Structure 1
Amino acid sequence: MTLRYAARTAGFAAAYLVAFWAAGPLGLALLVPPLVVAAVWLAAQARFGLRRFDVIALATTVMVAASLEGAGLLLAATVGIGAVLPALLFAILLERWLPGYWRGHGDRFRRSRDAVARLAGVAALTAAAGVVLQEVTNPGTGLLQLGVTLLRDTAVLVLLTLATRAVRRTREPRRGLSVVR
């Protein structure tokens, strides 16, 4: 592994800890929930092929954050599993249902409306998995708050993925058609 990978992982850990601690005292992470930070990071790291290390880094970061909040070892592991599974689901489904979408590959061959619909489906499944795991680990949250969390996480996942993809595409040079003889 390289120094760049370590720097990216440290940057992710800092961003995740900020999102995790903002969600704690405020009750709602208004801008970017921790689930979205983890899911987008795992999706962005997919091109390097080190998913098992990314999952270990995510689980370790979540467990450290939970321990600093006062959780014991078992509760920290439970919180870690609840954070890793939806994020991993997002990264895997995004690669399966929209291969290369994150990097802008295959855009000429797929309609944008279908791609956004699939992205919304992936985001909805990820948010639903996060809500279910949240309710299992912390029962009695309330139906209204679970619905708001589901809608918020779905919307933020879709919007952040589209925004990140748009920024990546504007940085890449435009290529026209090439003729091969």
Structure 2
Amino acid sequence: MSDLDQLTQSLARNLKRWRGERGFTLDTLAARAGVSRGMIIQIEQARTNPSVGTTVKIADALGVSIATLLDHEQGAEVRLVPPEQAVRMWSTEAGSRTTLLVGTEQRGPLELWSWLLMPGEGSASDPHPPGTVELLHVEEGTLTLEVDGAVHTLPAGTSAAFDARVPHAYRNDGTTPARMTMAVSIPPVP
């Protein structure tokens, strides 16, 4: 089974599980996530691989991390994620990419990400649920962070924290690759 097939199967299985645990009908989840009912059906039947944006919306609506939706194994007290099992969520032909390194559901979803943005590239994010916080640390290059329309320049060695309930984006306006590590804390669904 290819990595993509494994990802599709894990997402289908975990989406069904979490939708059932939350007691959400297809229509309820579709409305909460702002995603069509048909898309949710296709995902649950492992007939499609949704975009990162769609996956984030569904995870947010369920109150779980993306790691939880994509994880193919749950339950170990210590969960090791070798590099080959980290989940590549987004990439471009120029070499930019995001990789979900690890996540947990303890006290609300918490995710750890590795980002690489090539010069001239970026990624925008829709607002997350209220109470979601993002922490990031720029390891190499210079990152342009835009939060609710305000632009911030973060050179290597700089860290930032912000309320992610507003639109935000990450860009590399420089001439060398920008690398950062990011943690996302999502509040549990009440």
Q: Where on the TM-score scale, by shorter chain, does this alignment land: which range?
A: under 0.3
Q: TM-score, normalised by structure 1?
A: 0.26
Question: Higher strand share goes to which structure?
Answer: 2
Q: TM-score, normalised by structure 2?
A: 0.25
Higher gyration radius (CA): 1
